[in-house]
Structure 1
Amino acid sequence: MDASQPQRAGYGEREVSDQDKKLSSDYQRRVETALSRPCVKDTFHEFEHNRTRLRGFEPGDGTQKKRLRSNLYYSNLASIRPQIYAKDPEFSVEPTSGVPTEQVPLVRKFGETAQTVLTQMLVVDCKLKKKAKRQLTSAYATSVGWLKLSWQEERQKDPQIQARMDDTQDNIARLQQLRDCLEDPQAGSDQDLELAQLRETLAGLQSQSEIVIWRGLVLDFVLSEDILVLDSSVREVTDYERSEAIAHRVWMTRAAYVKAFGYDPKKAKTYKQAGGEGKEQAPATMSGNKGSKDDDLLCVWEIWDKSQNRVHTICMGEEGFCRPSFSPDWTARRWYPFYLLAWNEVDGGMYPLADVSLIKPLVDEYNEARDDFVQDRRDSRPFTVGRKGGSLTDNDLANIRNRKGNDLIMVEGAGNNPITNDLAAITLGSIDPRNYDTAPARADIEQILGGGDASRGSVLQAKTATEAEILSQGLRGRSAERQDIQEDLLSDLGSDSLQICLRKLSESEVKRIAGPDAQWPQLSAEEIFDQVTVRVRAGSTGRPDRLQEQDRWTKLQPVIKETVITVADLYSKGQVQLGQALVEMLRETLRRFDERIDLDALLPKPPEQGQQDPTLLMQQVQELQMKVKDLTEQLEKAQEEVEKGYVTAATSIATSANPAAAAIAFVQSLQVVRSVESSEKTPEPQSDDMGTPMPPEQSVTDD
């Protein structure tokens, strides 16, 4: 082990080098300085108050807080949250434009595998929806929401993980802690209790009910005040990625600390959790003592120092580091594992504006009007006044006071004295509902947050169809902008998750997730990400509007059907360019309708490059057919002329003066003609000894 790293000398004891003491002390000083900055200290105090309001209480110094009559903070959150994040995102891994054409099918196959891996490891295993909704709620209440993406494999080298997957490493660490307690006589623990816990832990290990070692992504939700930027040059928290260092705070009990780091921190500062059952929880505060009480909390900070590419773990008040510092081998290009969601950004401020803070005066006005209405309604109820010492006795007054329904009450007194002389119904005033109208406050809240009756599913004030449509469009515009911010964060989260998986997962592990046909290239993450892009499909996380989707599909389905038929017909006729123009026009139409239909699965394939044009082939066939037809006609015409010549020759021979001599002369002429034709088609004929060609034998029949 390096001399600069803390060495364990025994349970509750360790050796810390002077260099580590100074470096740890410097990090603790930087943390305290960052916490004392006014823009941070005041904002963290506001975070606490906003969470109290979101739970339906009015912040105050006392432990018992006043409950709000109408918790409009939560009602507006409940109406906004489904518009932004209602279902798991759909990740898309597509080739970049720089990928060669011949490699596109292979890269697409890898993209399909990567989408399956992201869906299983990030969306399902990490419970992305639950963590993302907590982040969204945090951004609504405190202006920021944080997520932390880590890789879990080896407990000694993993960062601080709150949502750690259970495996046998936890039981082994617990066994080591119990064993050290039993071997150390100065631990002061109950040995019988420790032995019983050790026996049960061993039994749990022997049952083999847990995974031996979990390897995979882990996603944590982190409270807004538990992330601290340790760089005074960063003036806005949204620029956290360029910070030199970021600190992540983890509150631990003493037992959890000993289990995680293997020693008891004797000099650590201890804190107490303020509040109690039925009371609003407050941040931990210094307890003032350093005893080893079970309810003590220790403040542990995990420092991600980008300037050193190192991760340090410190405990406030304790010397040195809690464990050896390390450099994670699974980080993505951005290195920091933290992801920030922030709305309502205003330049020049360290933190954005929180929705709860924006509507606080309006919610106070609304609740004040409602409280006044309830109080005035109670005070303005009619009441009865009885004359003291009148003709009605005390028993008569008691009977009147305790009457039930239409009871008949008999009273004493002078018969000629009207009862109204002794009893009178008095009303101090009447209520004018206009004095308690909450419509202006609700209208201002809708203007600030973009919510309305449509998002709540109820109608608080009658509106015309045009007004309702305008409000609905405004809500969609506001929620679409926030949904776009959310999807940008999820795209970064998916991209970094894929980079981590490329570094840590083997091909066999990927095939167990995505199937035997999975494509997982053996390249570096940098080389692969030069060829693909990871994005969240736009609108895939928002709440689906079934009526709107059905209306869009009713309009688009005939257009798609007609285009598919037309393109197929154009491809068959060889008009490829016109067909591709229609395809691009259809893609643009779907983009404007914000539809995510895979056209490649619906449209016919265009002719491959190098394949002959069917139209040209058809034209060539038609031309050849015309030539054959012309030659056939010429041949038939020639044959007719020959037959006519034969008839003419026979007629001349028959009518000649010497038919026999004329026939011999005709035969000799015909032989000469055939001889010339055969000499053009065949080699030279054989000759006799004198070299004179021999004509073929002919038989002449005398007439």
Structure 2
Amino acid sequence: MTGPGDQLAQAIEADELEQAEAERRAAAQMEEEGAVKAWLKRIEESREFDKAAREGYAKDRTYCQEQANADVFDVRVPIAGTYVGILTTFLYARDPETSVELAEAVSARIKEDAKAFATTLEIVIGRLWKKGKLKAAADPLVRSGLSVGIGWMKAAWHRETGNNAALQQDIVGLQSSLAAIDQLQVSLAEGIVGDDSAQRAELEQQLQQAEDEAQRIIFNALCIDFVRAEDIQVAPECASLQSYADSPWIAQRLFMPMDKAKATYPDAAEFLGSAMSYFRVPGRTAEGAGFGGATPGDQADAFTKGAAGAVDASKACVCIWEIWNKQTGHVVTVAEGCSRYLRQPFQPEQRSTRYYPFFNWAVIWNDGARHPQSLVDRSRSLLDEYNRVRTNFKTHRRRAIPKTGFDRGTLTPEDAKRLEDASSGEMVGLDLQGQRPEQTLFPISYNQIDPALYDTQVIRAELEMIWGVQEALSSSIQVAKTATEADIQQQGTESRIGYARDGLDEMLSELAAYTAELATSPNGLAYEDAAAMAGDEAMWFNVPEPEMLDMVVQVDIRAGSSGKPATALRQQQWSILLPQLQQAAIQIGQMRQSSPLDIANCLEQLAVETVKRAGDTGIDPYTFIPQPPAPVDPMAMPLGADQMAGDPALMLGDEGGQLPIDPSAMPDPAAMMPPAITPA
């Protein structure tokens, strides 16, 4: 029993605790507002630091969109945009092929299991890229790198869970029981009933188990998105964006409609109303660029502040910054104009050796420069010169239109108008007042057009040298070329853009290793998920730390596998190599006493590789390759003497039921050689 004094003391203590909690919350709110303000200021200063780079993005895009110097040139040829399209299909035509090899530290005891795991991991990475639509993000990344100098994309693991409706009723029942026990504990404090702590602990365990089982995984895979160059902000402390992985922090800018932002961040819905409003900018041409002038950096943005260009306020968007802080390992989410976190800083569920989910690719890195140089910027003067030549040629042609003069003292204005309006073949009567026609009407001389003055062949050759595009690809062929000559020129293109392809392969290799680390993490794919992708014979396990994966396998991609398929010259090389491989497979199989089935599998893989190198993905080689018969259960069909007599293998005493290999019965490799592939 408690007296009035005890109740008063408890009330005072409760008030003090409530006041202390209110002060703690107020102090935490002030600290949070100060941290948010500091992050927004840091981002604003960083954006000002990289303002010149964003101005370059806007200017480069005007050249690709045929909008540069519209007030200077009447003729603007979209050479840059055409080259970007050609090189994009040349550099990235398909998803790369993953290569997973065993690590050198793998012991012989687990080598077979490690091989099976490597095969499964290859399939899983390819399926995750296909499901995450890698090509849809890599294609604009390559275009961005060729256009503005750098391309970015983000690959993050997304795990979404939902509630199992079948267990919701049990959870509600358990919660009701706990509420009843809480009421009993109130009575216990007053000495009315006994202690039910044991029953409460048991119900709490049942509730926790039911809640865990109620959570089912809805989506668990890799999400890959393209990020515009101006929507990524790297810390100014990073001297070069080529080493962005060592930056202390990287921020990504996202624009989200207000309604969606409130639904995505419900805890911040009440103070999102103070956020800065942004509206999507409609299609516009470059403003204020001029010849050799500067393009405002904000023209690179797809959204603008305030109500400019907006139809109504319902289309307002919020500018959200997602900051990945490598120093603390947390992800911070803030909005411009908002003084609170949209959600509390958190650590990603999946760990990786690189931390950042961002990947960039650039063609030209200059020593000592923070930002890469774009091909458009490197060839801008030549592009202007080409447009200048074409504009002058147009002006010259316009001024060279044939004209006829007349003697106003002899020919009246009415006769001149009648002559001007006359149609083809019409007879026009003129009063020349007795003068000769050549004295009254005469042609006006003009400067003749010299085609050599307007020849752009030298400019095109220099542009092709800078961009690495050969005649066979850019369609600037002046003389007809054979297929071999065109193929030689295509090899020249591969050599010229080899540095760009190497950089792209390096980025995709990092993406492959990053994908493998996330997929094998504790919160990654389960065995059932891997088996659904790679089959029932899949070998899969999760590693507690990402560094441990390198002890088992080395993840990479096959160099150049994302580019165009093999050319006719490579097919000819394969046609020479194929017979030798076929003969070697047969001879090695005989020496090792391999079964005919193993040799047939090797020859089958050679046939599949031959079709793959043809470059036609519509051909399925397995439709032309005979498959082994279905296995027969020996217990269901016991063998009799007559059946053994019909089976030569059993008659010869082969326990495996297979004929011994007869070298004389093997087919001649020369007869198996496919027809030679000749260029078209």
Q: TM (normalized to structure 2)?
A: 0.68
Is the contact between residue 452 and residue 471 of structure 1 (CA under 8 Å) also seen in structure 2? Answer: yes
Distance 2:241 2:69 in 1: 26
2:500 to 482, 485, 492: 482
Distance 2:74 2:571 in 1: 44
**CA deviation digits over 1:211-262, x for unaligned, max 9?**
99322110010011111112x4311011111111111111223223222223
Distance 1:133 1:485 in 2: 15
1:127 lines up with 2:133 in the alignment:
yes
Q: Hey, what does 1:233 align to over in structure 2?
A: 237
Report the AA paired with residue 243 of structure 1. Answer: S
Distance 2:428 2:217 in 1: 83
Counterparts of residues 119-518 of structure 1 (less than 5 Å):
119-122=126-129, 124-154=130-160, 213-230=218-235, 232-262=236-266, 263=269, 264-276=271-283, 282-283=300-301, 284-287=303-306, 293-390=313-410, 392-414=411-433, 416-460=434-478, 471-503=489-521, 504-518=524-538
**CA deviation digits over 1:439-489, x for unaligned, max 9?**
221121122111121222440467899997775443111223212211111
Report the AA paired with residue 341 of structure 2. Answer: F
Report the AA paired with residue 480 of structure 1. Answer: G
1:116 lines up with 2:135 in the alignment:
no
Distance 2:591 2:561 in 1: 34
Distance 1:215 1:84 in 2: 30
Is the contact between residue 28 and residue 316 of structure 1 (CA under 8 Å) also seen in structure 2? Answer: yes
Distance 1:461 1:287 in 2: 56
1:20 lines up with 2:41 in the alignment:
no
Distance 1:475 1:362 in 2: 20
Report the AA paired with residue 26 of structure 1. Answer: A
Is the contact between residue 279 and residue 307 of structure 2 (CA under 8 Å) also seen in structure 1? Answer: no
Distance 2:149 2:382 in 1: 18
Q: Hey, what does 1:550 align to over in structure 2?
A: 571
Deviation at 1:406, TM superposition (A): 2.8
> Greater CA radius of gyration, 1 or 2?
1
Q: Hey, what does 2:87 align to over in structure 1?
A: 80
Distance 2:457 2:75 in 1: 18
Distance 1:155 1:36 in 2: 40
Distance 1:256 1:323 in 2: 15
**CA distance 1:41–1:133, shift in 2 (3 Å):** same
Counterparts of residues 658-697 of structure 1 (less than 5 Å):
none
**CA distance 1:66–1:511, shift in 2 (3 Å):** farther
RMSD: 3.4
Report the AA paired with residue 251 of structure 2. Answer: A
Q: Secondary structure, in 3 states, of the residue corresponding to 2:426?
A: coil
**CA distance 1:475–1:277, shift in 2 (3 Å):** closer
Is the contact between residue 69 and residue 367 of structure 1 (CA under 8 Å) also seen in structure 2? Answer: yes
Distance 2:350 2:149 in 1: 30
Is the contact between residue 154 and residue 224 of structure 2 (CA under 8 Å) also seen in structure 1? Answer: yes
Is the contact between residue 487 and residue 569 of structure 2 (CA under 8 Å) also seen in structure 1? Answer: no
Distance 1:443 1:552 in 2: 31
**CA deviation digits over 1:626-660, x for unaligned, max 9?**
xxxxxxxxxxxxxxxxxxxxxxxxxxxxxxxxxxx
Equivalent pairs, count: 505
Is the contact between residue 301 and residue 313 of structure 1 (CA under 8 Å) also seen in structure 2? Answer: yes
**CA distance 1:463–1:515, shift in 2 (3 Å):** closer
**CA distance 1:499–1:371, shift in 2 (3 Å):** same
1:534 to 534, 555, 564: 555
What stretches of structure 2 of length at least 5 have no aligned partner?
1-20, 165-215, 288-298, 595-601, 616-680
Moved more, 442-451 or 462-471: 462-471
Distance 1:595 1:413 in 2: 77
**CA deviation digits over 1:4-47, x for unaligned, max 9?**
xxx9xxxxxx997111111111111211121121xx11011111
Deviation at 1:149, TM superposition (A): 0.8
Is the contact between residue 246 and residue 303 of structure 1 (CA under 8 Å) also seen in structure 2? Answer: yes
Report the AA paired with residue 52 of structure 2. Answer: D
Q: Hey, what does 2:45 align to over in structure 1?
A: 33
Report the AA paired with residue 481 of structure 1. Answer: Y
Is the contact between residue 252 and residue 300 of structure 1 (CA under 8 Å) also seen in structure 2? Answer: yes
Distance 2:306 2:74 in 1: 29
Deviation at 1:275, TM superposition (A): 4.8
Is the contact between residue 407 and residue 440 of structure 2 (CA under 8 Å) also seen in structure 1? Answer: yes
**CA distance 1:465–1:326, shift in 2 (3 Å):** closer
**CA distance 1:546–1:462, shift in 2 (3 Å):** closer
Q: Secondary structure, in 3 states, of the residue corresponding to 1:266?
A: helix
Q: Secondary structure, in 3 states, of the residue corresponding to 2:425?
A: coil
**CA distance 1:463–1:369, shift in 2 (3 Å):** farther
Deviation at 1:421, TM superposition (A): 2.1
**CA distance 1:523–1:233, shift in 2 (3 Å):** closer
Distance 2:161 2:445 in 1: 75
Q: Hey, what does 1:57 align to over in structure 2?
A: 67
Deviation at 1:549, TM superposition (A): 2.9
**CA distance 1:66–1:421, shift in 2 (3 Å):** closer
Q: TM (normalized to structure 1)?
A: 0.66
Q: What is the percentage of aligned positions where both structures have the same residue?
A: 27
**CA deviation digits over 1:555-580, x for unaligned, max 9?**
1122223333443455469xxxxxxx
Deviation at 1:375, TM superposition (A): 0.9
What stretches of structure 1 of length at least 5 have no aligned partner?
1-6, 8-13, 157-166, 169-210, 574-582, 597-703
Is the contact between residue 131 and residue 219 of structure 1 (CA under 8 Å) also seen in structure 2? Answer: yes
Distance 2:379 2:161 in 1: 44
**CA distance 1:86–1:521, shift in 2 (3 Å):** same
Is the contact between residue 73 and residue 387 of structure 2 (CA under 8 Å) also seen in structure 1? Answer: no
Is the contact between residue 161 and residue 218 of structure 2 (CA under 8 Å) also seen in structure 1? Answer: no
